[in-house]
Structure 1
Amino acid sequence: MSWAPAPVTTAAPGPAPVTTAAMARAYARSVVLEHWNNADRTATEAALIDLSLVVSELAANAVRHGGGLAGFEVTPTPQGVRLAVHDNSDVVPDAAFGPGNLPTKHHGSGYGWPVILRLARDIAVDPRPGGGKTVSVLVPLV
């Protein structure tokens, strides 16, 4: 009788943590295509582009102004998807709840928040236990 090592079984690794805007865009799109689209509704390409813009701005803001992207969540809802972006800063952006006007001159602020305010709904900025904040928005897909 010969001896052979027992097979090694490993659990499939979970999804890699989202650490860049590109990863966040790809993940958000995959959630829409795999979990939001169904026989009764399908996100248009225009809606997916809007989603990509919002994801890009939120993730880039977390990296640039929030001390890093500490987490990213996408939750399908009947109206679209809710994004939650966690960062490491307690600072709430000045323009977070503004009118969404585009800047006429560059004074350190860009187009990010105006784009988010124009394309997303139900914007919330909440402190995280232990520091940092979560910016959550609903991006309509219908």
Structure 2
Amino acid sequence: MRRVLSEQSRTRGTACTPDTLSDALLVASELTTNAMLHGGGVTDFDVEVVGQNLYLSVSDRERRRPVMLDPVDRHGRRRCSGRGWPIVCRLSRSVLVSDLPAGGKRVTAVIPLCGDSPVGGAPAPGRQHRNRT
């Protein structure tokens, strides 16, 4: 992913910040970890830069969609897991979960590359989080 972003920055003449790269790497890590832990493994991984956005897609074998969990369980104890999906949603301009024809799902996170971060203030224009239950 570092290579893709570096090449795109050089080609387009726009420098992406270290924070942008860190956000993209963290989202990639969380999506692939979720696919391995909850989705039966990663079946496809795709990175594409379109305009000023990075489209990061991870596919797995499970049709169940990611869910937002409360940070505490029904007994009031803090959960040891369940932080990945909120991180993905927070760092992404939009997140789309789609069913795959042969089974499984694809999760696509759209990450703003330069100067339009959704973190730390009002959401970026058009920011959507779809299919969270």
The alignment's TM-score, normalised by the length of structure 2, stands at: 0.75
The match for 1:87 is: 60
CA deviation map 1:83-132 (0-9, x unaligned)? 1111000001122xxxxx872520x6421011111101221100001100
1:134 aligns with 2:102: no
The match for 1:66 is: 39
Larger Rg: 1
The match for 1:75 is: 48
Aligned mate of 1:124, from 74, 89, 96: 96
SS class of match (1:48)? helix
5+ residue gaps, structure 1, are 1-27, 96-100
Structure 1: distance between partners of 2:71 and 2:92: 18
- Amino acid in the other structure paired with 1:128: L
- Amino acid in the other structure paired with 1:113: W
The alignment's TM-score, normalised by the length of structure 1, stands at: 0.70
For the 8 Å contact 1:36–1:80, the answer to whether it is kept is no
Aligned mate of 1:50, from 8, 20, 23: 23
5+ residue gaps, structure 2, are 73-77, 115-133
For the 8 Å contact 1:102–1:111, the answer to whether it is kept is no
